[in-house]
Amino acid sequence: MPYEPSVIEQHWQGVWDAAGVFTARRDAAKPKYYVLEMFPYPSGRIHMGHVRNYTMGDVVARYKAAAGFSVLHPMGWDAFGMPAENAAMERGGHPKDWTYSNIADMRGQMKPLGLSIDWSREFATCDVEYYGQQQAMFIDMMEKGLVYRKNAVVNWDPVDMTVLANEQVIDGKGWRSGAVVERRELTQWFFRISEYSGELLAALDGLTDWPEKVRLMQANWIGKSRGLQFAFSTAGAPEGFDRLEVYTTRPDTLLGASFAAISPDHPLARHLERHDEGVAAFVAECRKIGTSEEALEKAEKRGLDTGVRVRHPFDTAVELPVYIANFVLMEYGTGAIFGCPAHDQRDFDFATKYGLAIPPVFVGVDAEEAPLAEAFVPLKSEPVRYIRGFAGAEVQTGAEAVDLAIAFCEERGVGRGVTNYRLRDWGVSRQRYWGCPIPVVHCEACGVVPEAKANLPVELPYDVTFDIPGNPLDRHPTWRDCTCPKCGAAARRETDTMDTFVDSSWYYARFTSPHAATPTDLAEAEYWMNVDQYIGGVEHAILHLLYSRFFARAMQKTGHLPAKAIEPFNALFTQGMVTHETYATRGADGREVWQMPEDVVKTDAGAALRDGTPVTVGPIIKMSKSKKNVVDPMSIIATYGADTARWFVMSDSPPERDVEWTASGAEATAKFLGRVWTLSERVAAMPDAAGTGDDDLLRAMHRATQDVTRGIEGFAFNKAIAKLYEFTNTLSKSSAGKVAMAQAMRTLAQLMQPMVPHLAEGVWAMQGGAGLVTQAPWPVADPAMLVQDSVTLPIQINGKRRAEITVPADMPASEVEKLVLAEDAVVKFLAGQPVKKLIVVPGRIVNVVI
């Protein structure tokens, strides 16, 4: 029977399903292993990136199960979010229907991959069963002071009259209307993640099984800095503003200050705005920049002199102007700064624009003071010569000077050293329909009241319309009406829904008890947590992982996770992408027209479409719809089978690197798997007769067992696969007898099982393996069989050959010495005389002198 993947794959998937092989079971007798791949957004179609990601997790899950662990390997859907609403707005239909039909499609595409997933634990974050529990946690978090409301700026589209997410703002304009986006203040819900800044940073040190680069990205995002906070006294300021608090990380540059600046949202600016039309106009202009840091970074730096002055803390005769500046953020430090143009490029540009002085504080060690063409910003670790320094030596590093400046200022009562974090509290309010409703109620008498737990879940209404922009919950006729859980009066529901990052911040915990009537079942969480191996894209290295780490802490505080889960992901692996060549033809206007790989044929001259139109072969880049360089996993499965797709994405590159998909590579993989099948058939048909070289074959088998095991354990799947090619070659060339051949073939099936489970089951069955290879214990390499080759060394005693000894070729000389002295013939000859000298010449001879 030829290798027919479509037949055997369906067959074995049916067998696994019927036997419930992948159902995760709490088993006190076994160690547990929880492997999780970042769950997908249900866009509707799986792509090669998914295949690679989920195959990697599957290799680990199948290997660990075989190695004796009780494995949890679940799958779900990150199902709330904008695309569903966009689809509804653009094509009609309902976000819920769109989402669930996509989930059904994607599940249907994923199942043929033969992943060892416990589908009984599947859920989508838009299941009311899931988000109802999220609402319960939200209320618990409110109780513990982890949630609060405050005014915050949002991106406002003045044409569509709607709030926009940062990703809906493109070059400062609304994605649909094209209108310039403005900043607006709204009362919003926040999670107090900043309370954990220090802890989230410090705990990174313990995450030794995370990629260094991810830990670094998290550390930078948390952004710890040490600086000085102090107050200027003001002159000419309105009442109540006689001090202006500023935060600086460079207090050593205080004598180079030439201005102070406040944020347009600073209370002083707010005050002036009300009394001064010029200020009001300027502040209004500033608000027209979106809320993202990126938008602020790009905007031209502008300021307005308020007329207020501040006195220099070291010399009150010196007065500095106070500007309102568009680059000062209210959310960082104190929302006010002093500017030192000589050593900060932004301040330099600002001073140049407004004709302010640029006095340098330090120069290069061997340089003299001279006018600057740009800010002089050496590394803090570099020594410089201070000409306007005030603390410490003349020549010192910036870091030393900063420390000394803080001490100097503290001694004189000018401010105090403070630690600041860049990490802001997490704004979770979204003015969107397709998200988890925030479970609170607005009551005229009681104010903002959490919904009673008994009234949960607050379910999204289905009857909503998307024909006009904005949040349909706001204009729903009845959903908003409710009764206050505290006083029973008529009240209004909150219409904000939660950021979808909330949904993905605790799904890993829910998988441990996906149908519990509480967010988690603590006994289950205690057994299954933590995730032993988390696998996903590096694009989630910052926010998703940081939010999840915060949530694990919040869930502990609210009693939904045990203490052991404070860091939920023991090990993290970030996989590379699947890439492909790009193909383009020339359009009538001379522009590139991207072509799908399936429409391109390679010719001797290069490449062409089927009708002969020449095609230019472009760079190998990440598969993406926009460049059309995508290969549909479903068509690969239809042509070659899932095992080919699985094997190929694991084979050519280390998993952390990109892998290039090529048609020829896929074909070669399919051929190889076919060869394994044919070989297995040949072995099964062998007569029960002895052969030659049984021992060599079994040695190769044990070596392959050791190498493949090491490859999988070390996430070097490509190396494991290279060893499997090698072992298959050895097998096909072997002239060993039936028994040894069948044994080696069964081991090959076991070792291939994590990567190509269907083929492996087929081979296992053909070779008379007991039960399913998927459930067979992982083979163990026998150390005795790993010994490479042996050598026979003559033993000379006082120059005459008296005996010989056979030892492994790679045995260290010290070990050989011991064996020589224990050798019967040697012991007899020595007859108790002491040995003066013993020299082992490795691989050659042993000399004994008595």
Residues that bind Zn ion (CB under 5 A): 443, 445-446, 484, 486-487
Of 165-173, 322-330, 505-513, 729-737, the segment contacting ligand ANZ by CB under 6 A is 322-330
- Of 424 and 557, nearer to ligand ANZ (C-beta) is 424
- The residue within the footprint of ligand ANZ, chosen from 139, 153, 237, 328 (CB under 6 A), is 328
Q: Which of ligand ANZ, Zn ion, none does residue 486 bind to, with CB < 5 to 8 Å depending on kind?
A: Zn ion
Residue 253 touching ligand ANZ (CB under 6 A) = yes
H helices of 24-180, in order, are 48-66, 82-91, 95-110, 128-143
Q: x/- site string to ligand ANZ, residues 276 to 305, per CB under 6 A?
A: ------------------------------
- The residue within the footprint of ligand ANZ, chosen from 62, 343, 553, 580 (CB under 6 A), is 343
- Of 53 and 248, nearer to ligand ANZ (C-beta) is 248
Residues 482 and 441: beta-carbon distance below 8 Å: yes
Q: Tell me how far, at minimum, the Cβ of 254 lies from ligand ANZ, in Å.
A: 8
Q: Tell me how far, at minimum, the Cβ of 454 lies from Zn ion, in Å.
A: 16
Residue 258 touching ligand ANZ (CB under 6 A) = no
DSSP secondary structure code for residue 461 in this structure:
P
For residue 5, how many other CB atoms are within 10 A of its CB?
24
Any bridge partners for residue 759, and if so which? none
The C-alpha angle 403, 217, 432, rounded to 5 degrees, equals 120
Nearest to 626 by CA among 583, 585, 586, 594: 594
Q: Which two tokens stand for residue 288?
A: 């027209």
- Of 331 and 782, nearer to ligand ANZ (C-beta) is 331
Residues 694 and 20: beta-carbon distance below 8 Å: no
Q: Tell me how far, at minimum, the Cβ of 497 lies from Zn ion, in Å.
A: 22
Query: Phi/psi class of residue 485: alpha, beta or left (left: φ > 0; alpha: ψ in -120 to 50)?
Result: alpha
- Of 340 and 752, nearer to ligand ANZ (C-beta) is 340
- The residue within the footprint of ligand ANZ, chosen from 132, 290, 333, 597 (CB under 6 A), is 333
Nearest to 127 by CA among 515, 440, 452, 480: 515
- Of 176 and 442, nearer to Zn ion (C-beta) is 442
Q: Which of Zn ion, ligand ANZ, none does residue 490 bind to, with CB < 5 to 8 Å depending on kind?
A: none
Q: Which two tokens stand for residue 211?
A: 């990629």
Cis peptide leading into residue 151 (ω within 30°): no
- Of 90 and 444, nearer to Zn ion (C-beta) is 444
Q: Which of ligand ANZ, Zn ion, none does residue 253 bind to, with CB < 5 to 8 Å depending on kind?
A: ligand ANZ
Nearest to 207 by CA among 560, 543, 527, 549: 549
* Distance from C-alpha of 391 to C-alpha of 480, rounded to nearest angstrom: 62
* Distance from C-alpha of 517 to C-alpha of 515, rounded to nearest angstrom: 6
Q: Which of ligand ANZ, Zn ion, none does residue 487 bind to, with CB < 5 to 8 Å depending on kind?
A: Zn ion
* Distance from C-alpha of 759 to C-alpha of 743, rounded to nearest angstrom: 17
Query: 565 in helix, strand or coil?
Result: helix
- Of 335 and 641, nearer to ligand ANZ (C-beta) is 335
For residue 186, how many other CB atoms are within 10 A of its CB?
14
DSSP secondary structure code for residue 516 in this structure:
-
Q: Tell me how far, at minimum, the Cβ of 377 lies from ligand ANZ, in Å.
A: 7
Q: Tell me how far, at minimum, the Cβ of 137 lies from Zn ion, in Å.
A: 23
Q: x/- site string to ligand ANZ, residues 386 to 425, per CB under 6 A?
A: ----------------------------------x-----
Q: Which of Zn ion, ligand ANZ, none does residue 247 bind to, with CB < 5 to 8 Å depending on kind?
A: ligand ANZ
Residue 250 touching ligand ANZ (CB under 6 A) = yes
Any bridge partners for residue 791, and if so which? 807
Q: Which of Zn ion, ligand ANZ, none does residue 408 bind to, with CB < 5 to 8 Å depending on kind?
A: none
* Distance from C-alpha of 694 to C-alpha of 673, rounded to nearest angstrom: 24
Q: Which of ligand ANZ, Zn ion, none does residue 546 bind to, with CB < 5 to 8 Å depending on kind?
A: none
Q: Please give the single-letter amino acid code of residue 505.
A: S
Residues with Cβ within 8 Å of residue 472, at least 6 apart in sequence: 433, 464, 465, 466
Q: Where are the beta strands (DSSP E) in 241-370?
A: 243-248, 259-262, 303-312, 315-325, 336-339, 362-363
Residue 249 touching ligand ANZ (CB under 6 A) = yes
The C-alpha angle 39, 52, 581, rounded to 5 degrees, equals 125
Q: Tell me how far, at minimum, the Cβ of 491 lies from Zn ion, in Å.
A: 6
- The residue within the footprint of ligand ANZ, chosen from 9, 118, 344, 496 (CB under 6 A), is 344
Say if residue 671 carries a ligand binding annotation.
Answer: no
- Of 399 and 482, nearer to Zn ion (C-beta) is 482
The Cα-based distances of 80 to 138, 164, 596 in angstroms read 17, 16, 30
- Of 244 and 484, nearer to Zn ion (C-beta) is 484
Q: Tell me how far, at minimum, the Cβ of 59 lies from Zn ion, in Å.
A: 56
- The residue within the footprint of ligand ANZ, chosen from 69, 210, 230, 247 (CB under 6 A), is 247
- The residue within the footprint of ligand ANZ, chosen from 69, 189, 190, 338 (CB under 6 A), is 338
* Distance from C-alpha of 51 to C-alpha of 47, rounded to nearest angstrom: 7
- Of 347 and 451, nearer to Zn ion (C-beta) is 451
* Distance from C-alpha of 516 to C-alpha of 137, rounded to nearest angstrom: 14
Query: How many residues sit in the footprint of ligand ANZ (CB under 6 A)?
Result: 18
Residue 268 touching ligand ANZ (CB under 6 A) = no
Q: x/- site string to ligand ANZ, residues 190 to 229, per CB under 6 A?
A: -----------------------------------x----
Q: Which of ligand ANZ, Zn ion, none does residue 446 bind to, with CB < 5 to 8 Å depending on kind?
A: Zn ion
Residues 556 and 140: beta-carbon distance below 8 Å: no
- The residue within the footprint of ligand ANZ, chosen from 109, 218, 248, 644 (CB under 6 A), is 248
Residues 343 and 377: beta-carbon distance below 8 Å: yes
- Of 482 and 621, nearer to Zn ion (C-beta) is 482
H helices of 641-782, in order, are 642-651, 663-685, 694-713, 717-733, 738-752, 757-766
- The residue within the footprint of ligand ANZ, chosen from 66, 154, 322, 337 (CB under 6 A), is 337
Please state the residue numbers annotated as binding site for ATP.
625
Contact residues: ligand ANZ, CB under 6 A = 225, 247-250, 253, 327-329, 332-333, 335, 337-338, 340, 343-344, 420
